[in-house]
């Protein structure tokens, strides 16, 4: 059986259990463990109000090695004061101790230091964590960690909130290390196979300015910490950071990547072709997860991509694309399969970007619906069929420059209102 979960890369274990945070009894606590220790990088929400988990992880991410990530769902541990911060640290301490004992890492985790553990939380804001249940759950999860596909899947299930399905993917690439020559007396060393695996949760409160919701990536590539951090930031910026579901940023957004370094490749320590190959695969993985999130967004029935061309700057293109993807009337029209280009043009005009009204154009899929500042004759039935597909692209040309950018969005349905009206009850 091919493992396409976060336990696919070398030296990663995982588990997901139910510890009683959620009244439904569904899984609500997960662990990712790297027994030999991983190089780690992360990005966090830029919201001024953040979870205690983020406060703690921002400190711990500076550690040379990270041995585990502990995640709970059902309680955000946000706006919980000093007790919330203390509880987050207790979660890290309990994880360090139990994981060390389970994986025979006592010699590697000095005094079971909490700083070697990262933490993430998601769920309802303003509630204190039920610590007895959580500490018991960590022990339960630590006893179950394995590198099996089912263990990776159980972790993916444990981090879900209003998600309807798990969202995970894997990329495998061959790395040409350039060692040896083609001479008969000096055979070439075998290329390394690197695996990158990712899992994400999040279907609402998504309009990020760093990452989005909770994203965890494991890989066995050998790479320096600064380059791993750069690769993660670039990948997020070109994928999950281009997704908006409802225009709302979370207080708990966290993206973490762990690299065990056991793929056997020559360590990547500069921005060489090998780095670019790894970075491209990481970006592709994150883009895949962003699309999975859009298709599973709260109440969503379809997703769309807004491409803006002809802008003066990339910043203007990004602002215009996000304005269209966030515009409630556009989202409602797409839900109804209505090719209402007027709402798209109105959204662009509200983005406060430079444009040429006389050159402004718009396409729905391949169909031009607005050109050089005026509507065109088009087959509305075909345009409606395009909008009604699970995925489609809207292209807007501002007619004033050469810069471009894009944003992912999804439709807005009555189910979104229902989910968020009943979120706490």
13-295 folds as 3.60.70
Kindly report the backbone phi and psi dihedral angles of residue 390, in degrees, each rounded to the nearest multiple of 5, phi listed first.
-55, -30
The answer to whether the CB of 180 falls within 8 A of the CB of 39 is no
Judge whether residue 26 has pLDDT over 50: yes
Kindly report the backbone phi and psi dihedral angles of residue 414, in degrees, each rounded to the nearest multiple of 5, phi listed first.
-65, -25
Helix, strand or coil, per DSSP, at residue 30: strand
Q: Kindly report the CA angle at 143 between 142 and 146, in degrees rounded to 5?
A: 80
If you average pLDDT over residues 25-42, what whole number do you get?
Answer: 95
Number of H helices, E strands in the chain: 11, 14
Domain 303-421: top CATH class: alpha beta
If you average pLDDT over residues 202-217, what whole number do you get?
Answer: 73
| pLDDT at residue 296, rounded to an integer | 85
| pLDDT at residue 209, rounded to an integer | 63
The contacts of residue 258 (CB under 8 Å, 6+ apart) are 12, 32, 34, 38, 39, 40, 66, 69, 216, 217, 218, 219
236 vs 112, higher pLDDT:
236
Judge whether residue 195 has pLDDT over 90: yes
Long-range contacts of 91-94 (CB under 8 A, 24+ apart): 91/119, 91/129, 91/134, 91/135, 91/138, 92/56, 92/60, 92/117, 92/118, 92/119, 93/117, 94/134, 94/135, 94/138, 94/139
Dihedral, CA of residue 342, residue 346, residue 349 and residue 352, to nearest 10? -150
Judge whether residue 110 has pLDDT over 70: no
If you average pLDDT over residues 232-257, what whole number do you get?
Answer: 86
> The pTM is what?
0.90
The percent of residues above 70 in pLDDT, for the chain, comes to 91
If you average pLDDT over residues 362-387, what whole number do you get?
Answer: 97
| pLDDT at residue 109, rounded to an integer | 44
Separation CA 12–CA 37 (nearest Å): 10
Closest listed residue to residue 239, CA positions, set 285, 271, 203, 201: 285
Q: What is the mean pLDDT of the chain?
A: 90
User: What is the pLDDT confidence band of residue 381, given thresholds at 50, 70 and 90?
Assistant: very high
Q: Kindly report the CA angle at 115 between 113 and 117, in degrees rounded to 5?
A: 95
157 burial (CB, 10 Å; 0-12 / 13-18 / 19+) is: buried
Among the options 7, 80, 212, 218, which is catalytic? 212
78, β-bridge pairs? 51
Judge whether residue 334 has pLDDT over 50: yes
Structure tokens at 92: 């890290």
Judge whether residue 277 has pLDDT over 90: yes
| pLDDT at residue 425, rounded to an integer | 61
If you average pLDDT over residues 72-78, what whole number do you get?
Answer: 95
Residues in the chain: 425
Buried b (16+ CB within 10 A) or exposed e, 6-38: bbbbbbbbbbbbbbbbbeeeebbbbbbbbbebb
| pLDDT at residue 421, rounded to an integer | 79
| pLDDT at residue 182, rounded to an integer | 47
Kindly report the backbone phi and psi dihedral angles of residue 345, in degrees, each rounded to the nearest multiple of 5, phi listed first.
-65, -40
Structure tokens at 389: 């597909």
Separation CA 383–CA 379 (nearest Å): 6
298 vs 404, higher pLDDT:
404
| pLDDT at residue 178, rounded to an integer | 65
CA within 13 Å, CB half, 156: 23
Q: Is 162 assigned a catalytic role?
A: no
Judge whether residue 184 has pLDDT over 60: no
The answer to whether the CB of 323 falls within 8 A of the CB of 350 is yes
Domain ranges of the chain: 13-295, 303-421
Closest listed residue to residue 204, CA positions, set 296, 76, 323: 296
| pLDDT at residue 181, rounded to an integer | 46
314 vs 48, higher pLDDT:
314
| pLDDT at residue 113, rounded to an integer | 86
123 vs 423, higher pLDDT:
123
């Amino acid at each position: 059986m091919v493992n396409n979960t976060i336990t696919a890369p070398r030296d990663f274990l995982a588990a997901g259990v139910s510890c009683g945070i959620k009244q439904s009894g569904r899984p609500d606590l997960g662990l990712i463990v790297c027994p030999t220790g991983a190089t780690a990088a992360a990005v966090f929400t830029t919201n001024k109000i953040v979870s205690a988990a983020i406060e703690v992880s921002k400190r711990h991410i500076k550690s040379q090695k990270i041995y585990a990530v502990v995640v709970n769902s059902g309680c955000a541990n946000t706006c919980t004061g000093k007790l919330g911060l203390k509880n987050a640290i207790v979660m890290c301490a309990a994880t360090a101790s139990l994981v060390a004992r389970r994986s025979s890492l006592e010699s590697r985790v000095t005094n079971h230091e909490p700083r070697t553990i990262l933490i993430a939380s998601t769920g309802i804001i303003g509630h204190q964590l039920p610590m007895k249940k959580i500490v018991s759950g960590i022990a339960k999860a630590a006893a179950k960690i394995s590198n099996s596909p089912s263990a990776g899947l159980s972790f993916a299930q444990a981090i879900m909130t209003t998600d309807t399905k798990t969202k995970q993917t894997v990329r495998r690439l061959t790395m040409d290390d350039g060692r040896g020559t083609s001479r008969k007396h000096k055979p070439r060393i075998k290329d390394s196979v690197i695996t990158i695996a990712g899992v994400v949760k999040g279907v609402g409160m998504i309009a990020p300015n760093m990452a989005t919701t909770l994203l965890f990536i494991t890989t066995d590539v050998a790479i320096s910490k600064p380059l791993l951090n750069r690769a993660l930031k670039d990948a997020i910026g070109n994928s999950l950071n281009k997704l908006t579901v409802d225009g709302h940023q979370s207080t708990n957004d966290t993206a973490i990547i762990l690299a065990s370094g056991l793929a056997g490749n020559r360590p990547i320590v500069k921005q060489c072709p090998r780095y670019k190959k790894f970075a491209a695969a990481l970006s592709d993985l994150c883009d895949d997860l962003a699309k999975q999130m859009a298709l599973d967004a709260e109440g969503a029935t379809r997703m769309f991509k807004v491409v803006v061309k002809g802008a003066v700057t990339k910043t203007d293109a990004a602002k215009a694309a996000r304005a269209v993807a966030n515009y409630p009337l556009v989202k409602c029209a797409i839900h109804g399969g209505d090719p209402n280009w007027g709402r798209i043009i109105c959204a662009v005009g509200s983005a406060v970007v430079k444009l040429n009204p006389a050159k402004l154009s718009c396409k729905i899929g391949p169909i031009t619906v607005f050109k050089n500042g005026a509507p065109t004759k088009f087959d509305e039935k075909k345009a409606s069929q395009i909008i009604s597909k699970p995925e489609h692209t809207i292209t807007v040309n501002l007619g004033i420059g050469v810069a471009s950018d894009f944003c992912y969005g999804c439709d807005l349905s009555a189910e979104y209102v229902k989910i968020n009206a009943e979120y706490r009850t």
